[in-house]
Structure 1
Amino acid sequence: MSIFSPEISASSSTDPFQLERLAQELAIRESTHSAQLDIQDDASHDLPIYIPLSHENPFLCGENFDVEAFLLSRSHISVQDLRAELRDYLATLKEELVKLINDDYEAFISLSTDLKGEGDRLAGIKLPLDALKSEITISKAELRAIQDEVIQKLEQRTIIREEKALLHLLLKISESVTRLESLLSIVNPNQDDAPVEYERFKVSSTSNSLESIEERSPANKAKHLNRAAAEYTQLLYHASKARSEHCAFVDEIQWKIDRIQSSLSSDLDALFALTLSAMAGEAKLSELDKNKILPDLTECIRTYDVLGLWRDAEEILRSVMMRPFIRKTVFAGALSAPHSPLLPHTPFRSSVGSGFPNSSSSMPPRTPFTPFTAFSAQQSAFPSALGKNKSPYSRVLDDSDDPLAKLYSQILRFVERDFSSIMDIAEKVSIKSRTSTDPLQVGVLEKERKRDGLGFDIMANVIWNELGRAIMDDLGGMVFASGRPDEFRKNYEITQAFIRSLEFMAPSAQAVRTMRAHPVYSMFEKRWQLPVYFQMRWKEIVGKVEEALALPVEPSGKSTAITGTLITPQATAVWVALTACWSAEIYIPELSHRFWRLTLQLLSRYRVWLNDVVQVQDGNYGALNSVNTINTGKVSEANTRAPTPGLSERHSMETSPADESLLFKYVSLIADIKTLQSSMVILWREEICMLLPEPDEQDEGDEEQKPRDVLENAVFAISALVIPMSSTIIAMLTERCIVPLSAVKKIRTDLRAKAIKQLPTEPHPWIPSILRPLKVFFGKDGVGAILKTEYLELWSNQVFESVCEKYITQVSTLKKAEESLRRLKRGTKNTTFSLFGNANSKDDESKDEERIRAQLILDVEAFGKDAETLGIIPGNNDAFVALSNLVNNNEPPETS
């Protein structure tokens, strides 16, 4: 066995000494050696540098001397040279050490000489230090004693100063009490029985104060009480400071403070009630007093704000103004009783040029009311803007003849007449009482004030508190009539317009928010029972739809080409239900999400119904097709030639009524689907998108679909059912169009039966009848006339292609029959026969074949021209091109 590789073994016969192999190995070795030499030449061959030993050597200067590292660093020096070098370095060190000793020796000797006698000198210096230390200690003790005495004196003076300030504070409290008692004309009782006789003195002081106030001029009544209120607030401040110091004096005179508060509150309440009565027209005052009513009212409201008695002022407003009016206006029979007009003190201001629409303008169609939004920046001067303009929502009340609307209009006129100025004054007083001058800061403080329950809330606590309770208690059975949807919807719209108009009179946006957060407002909103209303509307809408879907699919009339008109009663009912969900007579904004879900449910229900109808009709049509096939098969078996035209027409007439009804149904359903699809786009753009609430910003990043996408998907699911119905219609039209093609099998018999043997010059008369069903279907009075614009081209091309394929089958069958007959005549002679070939024989059979071929060409050409009248381009249809090539013998004939 050879130890060399196969290549070497094969070449050994020609090269017994293997010289070539040796030459190759030598060349490889030399190339490798040269490469190594090149690498070595590139590397640097610097000679080692000799560095003598010195103090700067890193191995000698380190903290720890490493012998091995030192020896390795001197590895290029022999041991003898290293020993000599170390001895030289040692001699150098010794020489330097001796030099240092010689240099410092003189100073070292002089130091020892100079230190003689220094011990005695230090002992002499130490003796007076003890005496000095004792003197310093005595002085320090004396200074500390003086310091403690000074601190004690200062503390005593501080206590005396604080007691003096407290005494001054108590004097101020006493003087304030005396001054207030004088201002309020309070008679001081004996100190001993003061607490016992408190109630008696309280009553007497109140009556005396009222008499004293009455004696004063009307212009000074409110200012007098305002001055007393300012003095009283200072008294409370001083009393709180004294109480923090645990002064018994404050507890002793607390009954006087309470008496002053009671007297001031009683006088203020009496003056405020008197002023309100004058404003309401219940008191007879002179013209001078009437002109001073508003200043007095402003002073009273300012005094209430200073004292923090906002709820007391609101209670007086309720008892003096709001409650009597509510009792006279809102009662159990208020809606049936005639309403007397509430005349204002002055004529209503004109709304021309106010910036709001006048009463003659109409509200937006199909929109119940515009939801309330926050006040814009233009309404920063809220009282002045709203006090001069009329609410745009009040037109809903003014234009209605409903008793509830008239009642609400009367209430609005009352609020505008008697409460608008009061709310404006209260709002101005609250803003002015803020210490900040920045308008933005004032708004922040006002919100904090309202949130803490401070300040005036006249709209919420006075107007709406009384009004909301009265409506719920006295008119609840008639207003919240959830069992009567139409009346409920009307009352809800009128009430919401009333609330919006009432909010429009609010002095600020914060007042509106406070009103909406009031418990009575929450109770009022819950009384509407909107889910019950929606449930009744749901039954009403869905019930009508289900009744329509239960009816048979019978179009209401013959379909026309008028777009936008629904044909079937089912589609009409669904569309009526969809529009009813968003109509002004049914839709309520608070139920927008429920009506949106109902809209999607209606579309889904219509899709399910359409799907069931399509499945049932397809099943019936399949049964009809199977029967037709069986009947056709029997005829074919009874007679080998094609059925006569009379039999085909009679069979078509027998099945025509059922097919015509099915076509009419499917065309109506497709037209309704298209109309419903376009109508839903308009309904979304004009109504739904504007009535649906806008999504929250925090939900924008969610994966949930947008409402528009959801609606498009629902409509697309309905439109998808057009495809199976279109397929069925195309199949039925194709079946009708291929009936005349059965005459293709008779061409051979008819041409041979003629006595005159000549080439045909005209197509068969039944050629135009092939596409006649399609023309009739899309004709002016045809079933599919309404779909002509959208589906004529699409369906005609599909039917034409199917008919062409059937035509090819008939021609191929004719060719096979002719080949079989020729073979039968020629016997067993194996000849290649071409029905459409260019034969040169002059016999009768060749002439018959030529006549058949010419007749087929004429028929196909006429068929193509007839298809052009439907907008079909035959040259673009692959099936017609194949048919044309077949009759023109451009393709090899099929042989069995």
Structure 2
Amino acid sequence: MSEIVRSPAPRSTADMFSDSHPQWFNATVFLSPTFDSESYISDLRSFVPLDTLRSELQSHLSSLNHELIDLINRDYADFVNLTTKLVDVDAAVVRMRAPLIELRDKIHSFRASVHGSLLALQTGLKQRSEAASAREVLEMLLDTFHVVSKVEKLIKELPSVPSDWSNGDMNLEKNFLSNGTSLRHVENGTNLRENGTNLRETQSVLLERIASEMNRLKFYVAHAQNLPFIENMEKRIQSASLLLDASLGHCFVDGLEHRDANAIYNCLRAYAAIDNTKNAEEIFRTTIVTPLIQNIIPYGPSGAVAGPPADELEDDYEQIKQCIKKDCKFLLEISSSENSGLHVFDFLANSILKEVLSAIQKGKAGAFSPGKPTNFLKNYKSSINFLAHLEGYCPSRSAVAKFRAETVYIEFMKQWNIGVYFSLRFQEIAGTLDSALAAPRLVPVHDSSSNEGNSRDLILQQSVALLRSLRSCWSEDVLVLSCSDKFLRLSLQLLSRYSNWLSSGLGVRKMGNASSFPGCEWAFSAAPEDLVYIIHDINSLATEVCGDYLGRVLQLLASCPIEVIDLIKQSILQGVKSLKDLLPRVLNAIVEALVEKSVEDLRQLKGITATYRMTNKPLPVRHSPYVSGVLRPLKFFLDGDRAKTYLTRETRNEILLDSATQITDRYYELAAELVSVARKTESSLQRIRQGAQRRAGASSDVSEHNVSDTDKICMQLFLDIQEFGRNLSALAVEAATIPSYRSLWQCVAPADRQSTISI
């Protein structure tokens, strides 16, 4: 038989007898049972290109194919005879199938047996669990019955004083007796009164025990609801519970009236055991607290107090504090004793504070009204101090936190509408400042014509109103610390309002029209001397706000974190900076007003042209009269009492230099224009004259040796600026240092004197 496998083309000798694979290619890895192609490729691709890896794998596959073909060709006879040896395979399969089927049947049978045993076991366990549950329920019902019987027996043994039972409670006793129980009374009342303390203590101990059993009973009832047995015993349980509450209440009241610490302690433990703390707190409130508070704050149809003085709470709180110390402290100490388990009671909130709140609401409701801010704040601070006094009875921080979380405490704080109070204070404080800023002129606090008054004090009523408003925000009669953020914002708004008032006024003054800007009339009508007051007040306000005022604010808010303190300080200083940034504008307004007054006299130099034009006047030898009046407004301002009193030397020198420079600038503008016009006019007239002379045939050089009108005008201006320079020197201003003065000198000085300025 010929070979059925064709070998591929023979390889070269180098391919057959040499290992051409690189070192990183390990063919033995493919034989590993844990070989993973993806991980193999991901490991190699980091340093071998995929094309190279593919070519190596293809090469390895080709070599494996060659090996397989070689193996078949080498053992071809055995390969062909393989099929001839596979005879009688079906018979072998039949022989093997019979035992396998038998084995499968045995397995199914065993499995069914095991499943049946498992079901029987699960059924037994379920029945056992149900039996255990039923037994637990039965035991619980038996325990419930025993506890009810025990409670009834203990209540039957409960000693009581005949006077303890009121008519209303006798009904409970009769109802209880109808269920088959009775109370044992002591017949001799005198002996009871003599042994009252022992009786109360015995009664309280027994009540505590009964309460403990009732607590167990409640647990059983809660876990055995909707059972007929429990439903049948419900009336007995309710009767026992009602009689326990009544007996416990009478014992607790008796202990409070006689201040029997042991009886009170046992009663409180009994109330805590049955989780009925509210009843104990209410009994204490109605028995002890209510009579005390009604004596201090009477209310009702006949006892309500009326009138403004009745709304004050400070004296009432003082009396209440004394009553708490005298009549309530003993119970507070008992309920706050360590390891007593009585921390569940809160007599401070649910008894004392609740009654105080009720009494104020009924007897002095006006105390909560913010319509009278002064009384409201006084009452609010008194109330906060009263709450702090109550917190002093709390034994720990957790007790204080619990006290503040009580509903009564939150309701008490809600009565004080701080938001409305701040709104009223805002209107009051801001309205005062707005009224002052609405004045049509600057109003000094004292007569500006007098020299009285301290230079460090504020002068203008507007500034005084600002400082008063700022101080009001942080005064004890206004400030509420819980609203300190709002009062800080109001303080910054006041500073901003004052700054805007000044800024708007200065802007209107510069435009020269006050009719379109209501509230800025003051700036249009203010004289430079009036603006001095503004400079002084700005400096004084900045000193006060950055000094004592800021110190008081930071002192009041010292409890805030340091980051908050820094922000508060920066915000106030920023408000002061915005105010001080207006000082240059005020100084410019003063300088502009002084310059305008000086320019009124400067405009008289236009008359020089009329004086020397087309006249035969000789060259001038002295300055014009108007020169003496040019610097008079500036000198009058600087020598005035206001400037000397309220402006520093540096500020006066700054106003002097700026005013002198601007006046000189205007002087140069007017003089240069005058000289320019004069020269143009003279040149035109000279051309006309020369043309007329040429037409007449006359000589044109007759007037060339005469002094021209322009020279006379320039000489007059030269004499004037010399006098102006001397006037500047009298004010301690060196005229030569002013650029416009040097330009003016160059414009009008004779040719032989232009190089040197000599006044």
Query: 1:318 aligned to 255, 280, 285, which one?
Result: 285
Q: In the superposition, relative to structure 1, how do residues 106 and 685 fare at CA in structure 2: closer, same or farther (>3 Å)?
A: same
1:231 matched to 2:213? The reply is yes
Q: Distance in 2 between matches of 1:533 and 1:465?
A: 27
Partner of 1:666: 531
Note the C-alpha offset of 1:474. 1.1
Partner of 2:416: 525
Number of residue pairs matched by the alignment: 648
Q: Distance in 1 between matches of 2:93 and 2:407?
A: 100
Q: Distance in 2 between matches of 1:808 and 1:524?
A: 74
Q: Distance in 2 between matches of 1:262 and 1:464?
A: 28
Query: 1:514 aligned to 390, 393, 405, which one?
Result: 405
Query: 2:477 aligned to 585, 606, 619, which one?
Result: 585
Partner of 1:498: 386
TM-score by length of 1: 0.56
Which structure 1 segments of 5+ residues have no match? Answer: 1-47, 59-72, 74-89, 188-194, 280-292, 338-399, 435-445, 447-454, 623-658, 700-705, 755-759, 836-844
Matches within 5 A, 1:365-404: 404=313
- Higher relative contact order structure (alpha carbons within 8 Å, sequence separation ≥ 6): 1
Query: 2:653 aligned to 782, 793, 801, which one?
Result: 793
Q: In the superposition, relative to structure 1, how do residues 531 and 100 fare at CA in structure 2: closer, same or farther (>3 Å)?
A: same
Query: 1:101 aligned to 76, 101, 104, which one?
Result: 76
1:558 matched to 2:558? The reply is no
1:434-460: per-residue Cα shift (whole Å, max 9, x none)?
9xxxxxxxxxxx9xxxxxxxx433233
1:109-150: per-residue Cα shift (whole Å, max 9, x none)?
7x57xx789959975x98889888888888777777666666
Q: Distance in 2 between matches of 1:102 and 1:261?
A: 106
1:732-756: per-residue Cα shift (whole Å, max 9, x none)?
4644885998999999x999788xx
Query: Which amino acid in the other structure matches residue 658 of structure 2?
Result: Q
Partner of 2:30: none
8 Å Cα contact 2:176-2:182 kept in structure 1: no
Q: In the superposition, relative to structure 1, how do residues 775 and 235 fare at CA in structure 2: closer, same or farther (>3 Å)?
A: same
Note the C-alpha offset of 1:611. 7.0
Note the C-alpha offset of 1:466. 1.3
Partner of 1:304: 271
8 Å Cα contact 1:330-1:471 kept in structure 2: yes
8 Å Cα contact 1:575-1:676 kept in structure 2: yes
Q: Distance in 2 between matches of 1:537 and 1:304?
A: 50
TM-score by length of 2: 0.64
Matches within 5 A, 1:793-832: 793-805=653-665, 808=668, 828=701
SS at match of 1:260: helix
SS at match of 2:75: helix
Q: Distance in 2 between matches of 1:850 and 1:606?
A: 51
Partner of 1:877: 738
1:375-421: per-residue Cα shift (whole Å, max 9, x none)?
xxxxxxxxxxxxxxxxxxxxxxxxx9997322110112222344345
Query: Which amino acid in the other structure matches residue 218 of structure 2?
Result: L
Q: Distance in 1 between matches of 2:173 and 2:248?
A: 26
8 Å Cα contact 1:226-1:299 kept in structure 2: yes
Note the C-alpha offset of 1:223. 3.4
Query: Which amino acid in the other structure matches residue 233 of structure 2?
Result: I
SS at match of 1:257: helix
Note the C-alpha offset of 1:483. 5.2
SS at match of 1:184: helix
1:307-339: per-residue Cα shift (whole Å, max 9, x none)?
1101111111111111111222211568799xx
Partner of 1:411: 320
Q: In the superposition, relative to structure 1, how do residues 202 and 799 fare at CA in structure 2: closer, same or farther (>3 Å)?
A: farther
Partner of 1:729: 593
Query: 2:143 aligned to 164, 167, 172, which one?
Result: 172
Query: Which amino acid in the other structure matches residue 237 of structure 1?
Result: F
1:327 matched to 2:294? The reply is yes
Query: Which amino acid in the other structure matches residue 207 of structure 2?
Result: L
Query: Which amino acid in the other structure matches residue 301 of structure 1?
Result: L
Query: Which amino acid in the other structure matches residue 401 of structure 2?
Result: Q
8 Å Cα contact 1:222-1:299 kept in structure 2: yes
Query: 1:268 aligned to 242, 248, 251, which one?
Result: 248
Identity, in percent, stands at 18
SS at match of 2:641: coil
Q: In the superposition, relative to structure 1, how do residues 855 and 107 fare at CA in structure 2: closer, same or farther (>3 Å)?
A: closer
Q: Distance in 2 between matches of 1:263 and 1:692?
A: 57
Partner of 2:364: 475
8 Å Cα contact 2:675-2:713 kept in structure 1: no
Q: Distance in 2 between matches of 1:610 and 1:139?
A: 107
SS at match of 1:584: coil
8 Å Cα contact 2:373-2:424 kept in structure 1: no
Partner of 1:866: 730
SS at match of 2:156: coil
Q: In the superposition, relative to structure 1, how do residues 277 and 98 fare at CA in structure 2: closer, same or farther (>3 Å)?
A: same
SS at match of 2:249: helix
Query: Which amino acid in the other structure matches residue 232 of structure 1?
Result: M
Matches within 5 A, 1:629-640: none
Query: 1:422 aligned to 318, 331, 337, which one?
Result: 331
Partner of 2:520: none
Matches within 5 A, 1:34-433: 97-102=72-77, 155-185=126-156, 198-201=175-178, 205=182, 208=185, 218-241=200-223, 243=224, 247-279=227-259, 293-331=260-298, 404-427=313-336, 433=341
8 Å Cα contact 2:458-2:464 kept in structure 1: yes
Matches within 5 A, 1:841-856: none
Q: In the superposition, relative to structure 1, how do residues 811 and 222 fare at CA in structure 2: closer, same or farther (>3 Å)?
A: same
Query: Which amino acid in the other structure matches residue 533 of structure 2?
Result: S
Q: Distance in 2 between matches of 1:92 and 1:539?
A: 109
Note the C-alpha offset of 1:498. 3.1
1:778-807: per-residue Cα shift (whole Å, max 9, x none)?
236255641244521221111221343356
SS at match of 1:565: coil
Note the C-alpha offset of 1:302. 2.5
Q: Distance in 2 between matches of 1:203 and 1:326?
A: 44
Q: Distance in 2 between matches of 1:161 and 1:875?
A: 120
Query: Which amino acid in the other structure matches residue 524 of structure 1?
Result: Q
Query: 1:456 aligned to 345, 355, 371, which one?
Result: 345
Note the C-alpha offset of 1:495. 3.6
Q: In the superposition, relative to structure 1, how do residues 877 and 204 fare at CA in structure 2: closer, same or farther (>3 Å)?
A: farther
Note the C-alpha offset of 1:860. 7.2
8 Å Cα contact 2:437-2:501 kept in structure 1: no
Which structure 2 segments of 5+ residues have no match? Answer: 1-10, 22-54, 56-64, 159-171, 515-523, 565-569, 691-698
Q: In the superposition, relative to structure 1, how do residues 296 and 816 fare at CA in structure 2: closer, same or farther (>3 Å)?
A: same
8 Å Cα contact 2:255-2:264 kept in structure 1: yes
1:34-77: per-residue Cα shift (whole Å, max 9, x none)?
xxxxxxxxxxxxxx9997699x999xxxxxxxxxxxxxx9xxxx
8 Å Cα contact 1:737-1:771 kept in structure 2: no
Q: In the superposition, relative to structure 1, how do residues 405 and 860 fare at CA in structure 2: closer, same or farther (>3 Å)?
A: closer
Partner of 2:31: none
8 Å Cα contact 2:532-2:642 kept in structure 1: no
1:220-250: per-residue Cα shift (whole Å, max 9, x none)?
4433333332232223323433x15x64333
Q: In the superposition, relative to structure 1, how do residues 523 and 261 fare at CA in structure 2: closer, same or farther (>3 Å)?
A: same
Query: Which amino acid in the other structure matches residue 793 of structure 1?
Result: N
Partner of 2:41: none
